[in-house]
Chains A and B, each alone.
Chain A
Amino acid sequence: MNLMIQQIINSVGQVLLGKEVEVKLAVTCLLAHGHLLIEDLPGMGKTTLAQCLARVLGLEYERVQFTSDLLPADILGAAIFNRESSSFKFLKGPIFTQVLLADEINRTTPKTQSALLEAMEERQVTIEGQTRPLPEPFFVIATQNPLSQAGTYPLPESQLDRFLMRITLGYPNRATEQQLFKGVDPRKRLQQMEPVIDLPKLAQLQALVDEVNATDQLLDYLQRLVDFTRSDESFSYGLSPRGAMAWLRAGKAWALLNGREHLLPDDIQQVMPSVVGHRVRGVHSHGVNGKLEKRRSLVDHLLTSVDVLAAS
């Protein structure tokens, strides 16, 4: 089992050089049944990572480029009148897939962004009064540009909360960059990529995540962390129960990824920035969509203020 996970990470790592931690986080997110938001400047490899993941997992995927004139129907699908049979026929949109690559999600209007709300949380879509289930599994991997860029619409909190994780990639380091220059174009490698696991195995892995053991002491630590976001003055609002559950699940997946069947405080801490960062807002208004450093310092504040060990 462990080998399989390692293989996934290695495969992606071959395309996305020098980003082990980010790749691990992304895989963690998928194992934890969560949607992933990748935020960074253009050209940092967001789309590459998303495509890699879809390929490696051997899932059917669709890519939607979000633009400012995109409409909900473009994603969800629409009923079209068929003249021959004199009836409406529903044409499925790109959302009916296993992995949806929502590229540059914040370039579109809030109206279209919201089309994803139901799909992401309940894994179904309701069009013209009819509810249709989405395929299983269903992942949304979205990429977005930092908000300071021109022509972006910030995602509403409700939408952000539906992403289990938000990760950033950042510039590659020197060695990696040089390797990039010398090596094969990542795009070519991407096309050569083969699926590492199949659907049943993925389901098996996802089931294992739920098996990871979290003791009372650990849950106590997690609860104190969550409580801190709700009571401390530097947070203008705290983590929701959904956010707290997501955190626990992400931690479990991270533990599994590290070959453990029990959760350690370290797991909780290591997924903290990507799980908590987009769900809380600091008082001084560098909120969920605020600048990166601000979010970091808020998460750091949380990390350093809550004692790992229960109070004596």
Chain B
Amino acid sequence: MTTQSASQGAQSYSGSSAGKFASNSVSRNSLGWIFVAQGVSILPLFLFMPLWLLAIWLFAIITRIQIYRGVWPYPGNVLKLCIGLAGVAGLYWSFGGSVSVEPMIGFLLLSFVLKLVEVRRRVDVLVVLYIGFVAVAAQLLLSQTFRMSLYAVLSCVVLLAALQSVFQHRALSPFKQVRDAFMLLLKAVPVMLILFLLMPRLGQFWAVPSMQGAAKTGFSETMSPGDFSRLIQSDDIVFRATFKTAALPPPRERYWRGLVMEQFDGRRWQRFGANWSQVTFGARSAESPMKEWELKSKSDTGKLSNLEHLAEQDKTYHYSVLMEPHNYHWLFVLMAPIEAFSQNMKPRFNPNFLLVNTVPVATRSTYEVLSLPSYRIGATAPNSKQISRNLVLPERGNERARALAKQWREEGARGQELIDRALALYRQSFTYTLQPPQLGANAVDEFLFSTQRGFCEHFASSFVYLMRAAGVPARVVVGYLGGEVKEGGYMVVRQSDAHAWAEVWLPKEGWVRVDPTSAVSPLRIERALHEAVGEDEASMVGGALLRINALRWLSLARNKMEELDYLWQTSVLGYDSEQQAGFFKKYLGGTDPWRLGLFFVAGIGALLLLYYVFSLIKHPAKNQAPELKLLRQVLRVLEKGGLHRQPGETLLAFNERLKNSRPDIAHEFGAIVELYQQVAYQGKNEKLIDLHTRVKQGFSYKAR
């Protein structure tokens, strides 16, 4: 009975409609592929999106599966509209109504996952999969690391495999399908490379608006005791610096300035200016040092001699910095910056010798700096306002420190001697530690006279306090100290290298860097932090665990990844019009349009030729039998006369057809067919001559 009912069911789709149905509806196989491909292409987006979108996606999948199983119907238009509107409202609520990239990507994601419940026919599958490629582009909009690029390629492979599945009648193993898609992509690689090298690099048409609520990383605009101990637990890369000059700065010179802090409330340092004023206030173009800096080379006391001259003598450091987004304005430079330049940012100098960007750094960016290591700055014409605000102390609090400074001053100590005295004090009985005790309101007093255990910010803070109390203008500088030199000749600076030190203004000397930490722990200046502190504390430094313990291979792998990331950034993402021109000059001998055209045409032509030759080798042409050649001549003549033989039609059948339509030719052709068949199917090779003469005797004329 079962067979009977099944066959009756089959009969209800009769003939062609059954075929149409099969070809139009979405098969179980391609439905599965859509789910997988969609999941792969949107997975990284969820890292940046509110998580309720994930719930909507799962809901869409369940709905689609239920529709496939015939449990639920397709949702109606009203329902779909409601869900869509609710989703848009949710996006508005999640992103606070702002218009930036993320809500837009959220909107794309929402419509992408909701499209799933609308997939009825194969055409819809194509639409969904094409949107998948847009989602892959969105991945790259949100993150451009090497890992993400690899993942984007993987997503493309899966999407391609899914696209193939739509057109397949027979289910292949998923592995084979993915492999095919990969091979497909692989074949496109050479063309992609040529286009990558050749297409004009137009630069950025638009900047990606800053991400809402993107996490700020690194130190902030304020510094309280304990801030840095938290910061150095992170192992993230802050920036990488590639030096174009031959010599790298020695470890003790690797002070990367980030921010200057001049206001102190007894416990917390912060940069000068009201909260609403930007750090970029008063900044000017970074093409040359600001006039009020009074920057001079240390060797000659006159004006700063011309830059070319300095560069020739290797007295400058020329380096480019690739920095990770930290969502602050400041950039990092070695003292003293002479010139800075960037293609995708607008770096400016500010009065505190800082390099700042006009907008917070929200994407990975590069800038180039020229620095003068032996300098004298702000010495000749002191900026009186700047000097005076660097003497200000809170009205009350930290009385003992104040008294100590006063005592030094009364003993006649001035300038350098004051500095030496303070450093001597630290050297006596202070301890450099990552686990400083908690400090109360009078942080400086408590540190100096009771706990005497501290981290860089404690030393910098108390030192500046002492200096100011003794009448020496001083301020706190935060930034990074150090940098791990990699095989590629570049330097990697991590959050664990964060450091705070002091700058003191001395008459005739100008602003001088003093690092009180060096008095306590000289090792910290020469080496990385985790080597400078005790073994029990080293594990608190971010990444140190990996670097020193048995998990070395893991750290090696991570290093390799960071290296690849750097290479990817500099050579692929950083391939700009300048590098392009360099490439053209080096390999094409110039940038003339004809050279580019020739390279383009020849490059792609050579590839096609290669494919062709390869296919020739793989499928060599068979030697055609002589009788077949003759027969083909005849058939070609007939084709010119509009008489085509169908592929599956035998010669006899063809001749029968001719007898009806063109009896005049059929007779002659029939004779040829007879001869041909004798040669080809009877093995009478001697008849080949007859066939030859027959064909050559002008069959062509008769055909017309």
Among B423-431, B505-513, B648-656, B688-696, which stretch is in contact with chain A?
A: B648-656
* Cross-interface CB contact of B680 among A150, A217, A304, cutoff 8 Å: A217
Q: How far is the CB of B176 from chain A (nearest CB, A)?
A: 15
Contacts of A153 in B (CB 8 A): 3
Q: In the complex, are the beta carbons of A304 and B681 less than 8 A apart?
A: no
For residue A225, which residue of chain B has the nearest CB? Answer: B648
Give 1 or 0 for each of B12-28: 1 = CB within 8 Å of chain A CB: 00010011001000000
Q: In the complex, are the beta carbons of B170 and A152 less than 8 A apart?
A: no
Check: B412 CB closer than 8 A to any chain A CB. Answer: no
Given the contacts A152-B3, A233-B168, A284-B18, A308 and B681 also touching, CB distance less than 8 Å: no
In the docked arrangement, what's the CA distance between A307 and B644, Å? 13
In the docked arrangement, what's the CA distance between A265 and B648, Å? 10
In the docked arrangement, what's the CA distance between A154 and B2, Å? 12
Given the contacts A147-B3, A148-B7, A308 and B649 also touching, CB distance less than 8 Å: yes
Check: B558 CB closer than 8 A to any chain A CB. Answer: no
Q: In the complex, are the beta carbons of A154 and B648 less than 8 A apart?
A: no
* Cross-interface CB contact of B647 among A148, A152, A213, A306, cutoff 8 Å: A306
Check: B631 CB closer than 8 A to any chain A CB. Answer: yes
Q: In the complex, are the beta carbons of B169 and A233 less than 8 A apart?
A: yes
Which of A153, A213, A234, A312 has most chain B Cβ within 10 Å?
A312
For residue A265, which residue of chain B has the nearest CB? Answer: B650
For residue A233, which residue of chain B has the nearest CB? Answer: B169
DSSP class of A's interface residues: helix, strand, loop or mixed?
loop
- Residues 590-613 of B at the A interface (beta carbon under 8 Å): none
* Cross-interface CB contact of B653 among A217, A266, A284, A306, cutoff 8 Å: A266
For residue A236, which residue of chain B has the nearest CB? Answer: B170
Q: How far is the CB of B281 from chain A (nearest CB, A)?
A: 70
Check: B677 CB closer than 8 A to any chain A CB. Answer: yes
In the docked arrangement, what's the CA distance between A305 and B631, Å? 20
Contacts of A263 in B (CB 8 A): 681
Check: B624 CB closer than 8 A to any chain A CB. Answer: yes
Check: A184 CB closer than 8 A to any chain B CB. Answer: no
Check: A283 CB closer than 8 A to any chain B CB. Answer: yes
Q: In the complex, are the beta carbons of A264 and B652 less than 8 A apart?
A: yes
Check: B622 CB closer than 8 A to any chain A CB. Answer: yes
Give 1 or 0 for each of A271-312: 1 = CB within 8 Å of chain B CB: 000000000000110000001010000000001111111111
Q: In the complex, are the beta carbons of A266 and B650 less than 8 A apart?
A: yes
In the docked arrangement, what's the CA distance between A293 and B19, Å? 13
Q: In the complex, are the beta carbons of B647 and A308 less than 8 A apart?
A: yes
* Cross-interface CB contact of A307 among B169, B648, B681, cutoff 8 Å: B648
Q: In the complex, are the beta carbons of A264 and B681 less than 8 A apart?
A: yes
In the docked arrangement, what's the CA distance between A306 and B625, Å? 19
Check: B682 CB closer than 8 A to any chain A CB. Answer: yes
In this complex, the interface size class of chain A, counting residues with CB under 8 Å from chain B, is 20 to 34
Contacts of B625 in A (CB 8 A): 217, 310
Q: In the complex, are the beta carbons of B169 and A215 less than 8 A apart?
A: no
Contacts of B15 in A (CB 8 A): 293
Given the contacts A152-B3, A263-B681, A312 and B624 also touching, CB distance less than 8 Å: yes
In the docked arrangement, what's the CA distance between A215 and B648, Å? 19
Give 1 or 0 for each of B638-651: 1 = CB within 8 Å of chain A CB: 00000000111111
Contacts of B646 in A (CB 8 A): 304
Contacts of B230 in A (CB 8 A): none
* Cross-interface CB contact of B650 among A150, A308, A311, cutoff 8 Å: A308
For residue B654, which residue of chain A has the nearest CB? Answer: A308
DSSP class of B's interface residues: helix, strand, loop or mixed?
helix
Which of A147, A217, A283 has most chain B Cβ within 10 Å?
A217
Given the contacts A148-B7, A154-B3, A262 and B18 also touching, CB distance less than 8 Å: no
Q: In the complex, are the beta carbons of A308 and B651 less than 8 A apart?
A: yes
Contacts of A293 in B (CB 8 A): 15
Check: A53 CB closer than 8 A to any chain B CB. Answer: no
Contacts of A312 in B (CB 8 A): 624, 628, 632
Contacts of B622 in A (CB 8 A): 310-311
Contacts of A217 in B (CB 8 A): 625, 628, 680-681
Q: How far is the CB of A152 from chain B (nearest CB, A)?
A: 7
Check: B299 CB closer than 8 A to any chain A CB. Answer: no
Check: A218 CB closer than 8 A to any chain B CB. Answer: yes
Give 1 or 0 for each of A137-163: 1 = CB within 8 Å of chain B CB: 000000000011010111000000000
Q: In the complex, are the beta carbons of B680 and A215 less than 8 A apart?
A: yes
Check: A269 CB closer than 8 A to any chain B CB. Answer: yes
For residue B631, which residue of chain A has the nearest CB? Answer: A309
Check: B4 CB closer than 8 A to any chain A CB. Answer: yes
Q: How far is the CB of B620 from chain A (nearest CB, A)?
A: 12
Contacts of B169 in A (CB 8 A): 233-234, 283
Contacts of A150 in B (CB 8 A): 4
Give 1 or 0 for each of A255-267: 1 = CB within 8 Å of chain B CB: 0000000111110
Check: B683 CB closer than 8 A to any chain A CB. Answer: yes
Give 1 or 0 for each of B189-203: 1 = CB within 8 Å of chain A CB: 000000000000000
Contacts of A154 in B (CB 8 A): 3
Q: In the complex, are the beta carbons of A310 and B647 less than 8 A apart?
A: no
Q: In the complex, are the beta carbons of A264 and B647 less than 8 A apart?
A: no
Contacts of B649 in A (CB 8 A): 308
Q: In the complex, are the beta carbons of A147 and B681 less than 8 A apart?
A: no
Which of B168, B170, B646 has most chain A Cβ within 10 Å?
B170
Q: In the complex, are the beta carbons of B683 and A262 less than 8 A apart?
A: yes
Question: What is the interface of chain B, defined by CB distance below 8 A to chain A?
Answer: 3-4, 7-8, 10-11, 15, 18-19, 22, 168-170, 622, 624-625, 628, 631-632, 646-653, 677, 680-683
Report 23 cross-chain contacts, Cβ distance below 8 Å, ordered by A residue: A150-B4, A152-B3, A153-B3, A154-B3, A217-B628, A217-B680, A217-B681, A233-B170, A236-B170, A264-B681, A283-B169, A284-B19, A284-B22, A304-B646, A304-B647, A305-B647, A307-B648, A308-B648, A308-B651, A309-B628, A309-B631, A310-B628, A312-B628
Q: Considering the complex of A and B, which 3 residue pairs feature the smallest CB-CB distances, nearest first? A: A304-B648, A307-B647, A265-B650
